[in-house]
Structure 1
């Protein structure tokens, strides 16, 4: 099942490239390039963590609705949750990110009463196989002030380092 989870600090730390990225020593005449950093493609979903997604029951409640439109709505709900219920307030020019990934169907349960129509809750810990990262183009205050859905930049899993770098740029400088 595809889920959308607001990026937490622990997720960002887990996604930091691993491996050697240091330049070779000056005395190493045989090597001119550093080893490529490994880009993680999974994060740990802990039990009770809120996430968003399109369940079969949501699809049944919206017969004839394009499944991609429902996925888009779930992603947008996750963006707003990242703005409003993050462990630390997201304000000013700070951007937010949402991870899109896949878990087994039994890893999540309905939480629509507390987290909206697409709200889910993890029932057990499981690795999320990441598909993409979505980062708001604007900073938090600008997203809140705009009456349309936040513009999101899409990053492939191979682009996680670039997504994290963009996330930490000052959105007011863009």
Structure 2
């Protein structure tokens, strides 16, 4: 049995509302970021946690480009629904299927005013998925 793939999904406050109300993210296809086979091939000796951090940072930057506040959901998905494109950002993937609440493991929230465009890594606060309502309250 193949293990799950951890994906990092740039999401919006409206996506979190839908996740809370319907137990799933809206839509049946999601842009996401993950440690892809290409990343593993290009960096075979790198610590897996460093590779995961890179994918999370790419998702945070994508979130900052499309929302007032950086917000990323991490989910463990079956490898059969995660597609790697032939070109583009090495960590970019798409999730071809519904992302249900039970697949989400954590939420990552950026500081107000940080849009991810600086030279430094994006500072993210980590929340367990059970703290979904707390994150929603913090977003106002």
**Shorter-normalised TM-score: what interval?**
0.7 to 0.9
3-state SS of 1:113 partner: coil
3-state SS of 2:87 partner: helix
Distance 1:53 1:140, change over 3 A: same
Structure-1 separation of matches of 2:91 and 2:24: 21
TM-score (norm 1): 0.67
Match runs of 1:12-161 below 5 Å:
12-16=16-20, 43-44=24-25, 46-84=27-65, 86=66, 90=67, 94-111=68-85, 113-114=87-88, 116-127=89-100, 129-141=103-115, 143-144=116-117, 146-161=118-133
Deviations 1:23-49 (A, max 9, x none): xxxxxxxxxxxxxxxxx8x53474442
Q: 2:24, 2:98 within 8 Å by CA — same for their partners in 1?
A: no
1:66 offset after TM fit, Å?
A: 0.4
For 1:11, the equivalent position in structure 2 comes to 15
Superposition CA RMSD, Å: 2.3
Q: How many residues align?
A: 135
Stretches (4+) displaced over 4 A: none
3-state SS of 2:55 partner: helix
Greater relative contact order structure (CA < 8 Å, 6+ sep): 2
1:112 offset after TM fit, Å?
A: 5.8
Structure-2 separation of matches of 1:131 and 1:58: 22
Larger radius of gyration: 1
Unaligned ranges ≥5, structure 1: 19-39, 169-174
TM-score (norm 2): 0.82
